[in-house]
Structure 1
Amino acid sequence: MNQATLHQLKVFEAAARHGSFTRAAEELFLTQPTVSMQIKQLTKSVGLPLFEQVGKRLYLTEAGRELFATCRQIFDTIAQFEMKVANLKGLKQGQLRLAVITTAKYLIPRLLGPFCQLYPGIEISLKVTNHEGILERMVSNMDDLYIMSQVPENLDVNCDPFLDNPLVVFAPLNHPLAKEKNIPIERLANEPFIMREPGSGTRRAVQSLLDEHDVKVKVKLELGSNEAIKQAIAGGLGISVLSRHTLLTDTEFSILDVQHFPIKRTWYMVYPAGKQLSIIAQTYYDYLLDAAKKFVEQTEQHIAPDVSAV
């Protein structure tokens, strides 16, 4: 390994992460032969194969998996050093890696804008995925901070609540139940229902409430995004339960006044216990706690009339 270079490790890390020399070349703006040559030289330095090809797929060997984990540690340490040096110079620059639950994509970009204006030298990497995807990324330590509504029970993590995330019943604006009050939850069984995909935290929360009250809804559609569900609701295909934050200033939907709703949930900032936050991540962590309070004040003034009544 004395002959291995940092450039070779970067090429290897990209190839291992993508499982493809071609995609690694595209990411690093290199040719595929260059990537192959760098991997070949690194393999020679290690003294063991790093990849094995089965059919058309590329897999890491045991040595490759160990080196991949080592690369992550090396690059994290270098990034920490660069940010500490930047901080000593009185600058705020570096990269912030965020992974957020699907519903948070309506919220977090709004809170990122002012942060980017405060610290124009910071590059933001934002990954949006469902609850299971967040857990996979957290286990692999792929990001600095995770924004989610359900704190994992089987992982040792640090977490801080920063904003309420109520789940409400969405319906078309002209839905027959839109003007009714205190609708029994059992009435949902009579409506065509649009549900989030398996693996979604929202789906688990909704199903838990329905099971608690022995209500079985008629699931007409399962969709993997809130936007798709909103379009289906607007098209009259049924009703659904979504975060109130997915509505924001939309006025083409009704929020039904159903018993036991809203489902009370909370947005959390989460990161693995024992993980030392970078200067950038800690700065954003502190910023978000304050920005969330201001966000609530602003949105309550502009939110749709039906929503303010929830």
Structure 2
Amino acid sequence: MKNISIKQLNVFCQIARSGSLSLAAEHLFMSKAAVSLSLTELEKHLGHRVFDRVNQRLHLNHQGYQLLPLADELLQRHAEIELLYAQSAPLAGTLKVGASQTVGSYLLPYLLADFEKERVMDFSTGDEPNYIDKQVQITNHFELCQNILDYKVDVGFTEGVVQHPDLISLPFTHDEMWIIAAKGASKFDEETIDVKALSGQQWLLREEGSGSRDFFIQHIAPSLTAWDTHFQFNSNAAIINGVTAGLGLSCLSHHVITKGNLSPHLQIISLSTSMQRSFSILLHKNKYQSPLLNCFVEFSKRWGIQTANELA
């Protein structure tokens, strides 16, 4: 066990994230043979296989899942030690941020910009803030959760409901969902209608795994006597254009519709039912939280309370 090296742990983590020797080798600027040898040496020292080999892919087994959070923490602490005396500022390194489509497209850019501004202000005495390599992945809610579980991202932002026991969900901010229709849909011209009045309509929904779709299924569909998924899109912009073209109704965040500059050919249907939902910050419960990650999470919680409503 004493012979396990930082290099071997780094190789292990990269393979765990990519599931491929070739992709890990490409990321680490190593040959595939060198990556394979490093993994073999690690498994020899451990006395256990940490991956199952299935159809030329590597999948973490039970031993691998036990090792991953420990290896991730050791690598981050190793990076902190290297930066400890090389740079004067306390925050530096890599921050891997993930977000679902709505948060990632309409809130996260403002959050990151304000985080940068605060860091510059913190060093207004003369010292320059350390460089932070920020990597951002925008996907749907289901894939975001899986990326956090696989240690592919450090922190995530989502509108979906989180149920996995290994994920920590912290409050971020609130959101309001709007029902949109093509302008001139006369049956929806009333000032406020009951959600049941939308029964029998055709709907344009996001793909399975999307928080917006989950909201519709859980909070709107149960009140409808009949409804039909007319089209399924993996893009909010495509849904807005589809509704504008008269393909059906949809349910989207007010951030999406407002920031997308509501078309004059669309109308918002006013409902008597509350259409509120919450955005959350997601973390893996076993992941080591570096000073940089802790700083960003605390800033994000403050930002969500103070700023998000101003972007509506």
TM-score tier, shorter chain, comes to 0.7 to 0.9
Whether the aligned pair in 2 keeps the contact of 1:169 and 1:261 (CA below 8 Å) is no
Structure 2 unpaired stretches of 5+: 120-128
Find the counterpart in structure 2 of residue 308 from structure 1. Answer: none
Root mean square deviation, CA, Å: 3.3
Corresponding letter in the other structure for 2:23: R
CA distance 1:82–1:179, change in 2 (3 Å): farther
Find the counterpart in structure 2 of residue 102 from structure 1. Answer: 101
**Residue 174 (structure 1) shift:** 5.1
| Structure 2 CA distance for aligned equivalents of residues 178 and 214 of structure 1 | 15
Q: What does 1:152-231 align with in structure 2 at a 5 Å threshold?
A: 152-153=162-163, 155=165, 159-173=169-183, 175-176=185-186, 179-231=189-241
SS of the residue corresponding to residue 166 of structure 1 reads strand
Deviations 1:241-285 (A, max 9, x none): 011111214131634233235511122224355766432223223
Find the counterpart in structure 2 of residue 251 from structure 1. Answer: 262
Q: What does 1:35-46 align with in structure 2 at a 5 Å threshold?
A: 35-46=35-46
Whether the aligned pair in 1 keeps the contact of 2:180 and 2:251 (CA below 8 Å) is yes
Deviates more, 1:9-18 or 1:184-193: 184-193
Corresponding letter in the other structure for 1:251: L
**Residue 237 (structure 1) shift:** 1.8
Structure 1 unpaired stretches of 5+: 301-310
Deviations 1:200-245 (A, max 9, x none): 3322222233344243222101223323322322333222001111
CA distance 1:208–1:15, change in 2 (3 Å): closer
| Residue 294 of structure 1 pairs with residue 307 of structure 2 | yes
| Structure 2 CA distance for aligned equivalents of residues 44 and 157 of structure 1 | 31
| Residue 126 of structure 1 pairs with residue 125 of structure 2 | no
| Structure 1 CA distance for aligned equivalents of residues 284 and 61 of structure 2 | 27
Q: What does 1:266-305 align with in structure 2 at a 5 Å threshold?
A: 266-272=278-284, 277-292=289-304, 293-297=306-310, 299-300=311-312
CA distance 1:11–1:270, change in 2 (3 Å): closer
SS of the residue corresponding to residue 265 of structure 1 reads strand
Find the counterpart in structure 2 of residue 90 from structure 1. Answer: 89
Corresponding letter in the other structure for 1:229: I
SS of the residue corresponding to residue 268 of structure 1 reads strand
**Residue 101 (structure 1) shift:** 2.3
Deviations 1:10-37 (A, max 9, x none): 1232123222111111111222233233
Corresponding letter in the other structure for 2:309: V
SS of the residue corresponding to residue 165 of structure 1 reads strand
| Structure 2 CA distance for aligned equivalents of residues 87 and 184 of structure 1 | 62
**Residue 118 (structure 1) shift:** 4.3
| Structure 2 CA distance for aligned equivalents of residues 82 and 180 of structure 1 | 64
Deviations 1:161-197 (A, max 9, x none): 3422111112234544575421342332243211222
| Structure 1 CA distance for aligned equivalents of residues 288 and 3 of structure 2 | 30
| Structure 1 CA distance for aligned equivalents of residues 168 and 65 of structure 2 | 27
| Residue 144 of structure 1 pairs with residue 154 of structure 2 | yes
| Structure 1 CA distance for aligned equivalents of residues 7 and 286 of structure 2 | 29
Find the counterpart in structure 1 of residue 125 from structure 2. Answer: none
SS of the residue corresponding to residue 193 of structure 2 reads coil
Aligned residues: 298
CA distance 1:249–1:44, change in 2 (3 Å): closer
**Residue 150 (structure 1) shift:** 4.2
SS of the residue corresponding to residue 4 of structure 2 reads coil
CA distance 1:255–1:28, change in 2 (3 Å): farther
Corresponding letter in the other structure for 1:284: F
Whether the aligned pair in 2 keeps the contact of 1:210 and 1:216 (CA below 8 Å) is no
SS of the residue corresponding to residue 307 of structure 2 reads helix
Deviations 1:122-157 (A, max 9, x none): 222223333333433444555433322345356376
Whether the aligned pair in 1 keeps the contact of 2:94 and 2:132 (CA below 8 Å) is yes
Find the counterpart in structure 2 of residue 31 from structure 1. Answer: 31
CA distance 1:192–1:160, change in 2 (3 Å): same
SS of the residue corresponding to residue 259 of structure 1 reads coil
Find the counterpart in structure 1 of residue 5 from structure 2. Answer: 5
Deviates more, 1:269-278 or 1:187-196: 269-278
| Structure 2 CA distance for aligned equivalents of residues 198 and 35 of structure 1 | 36
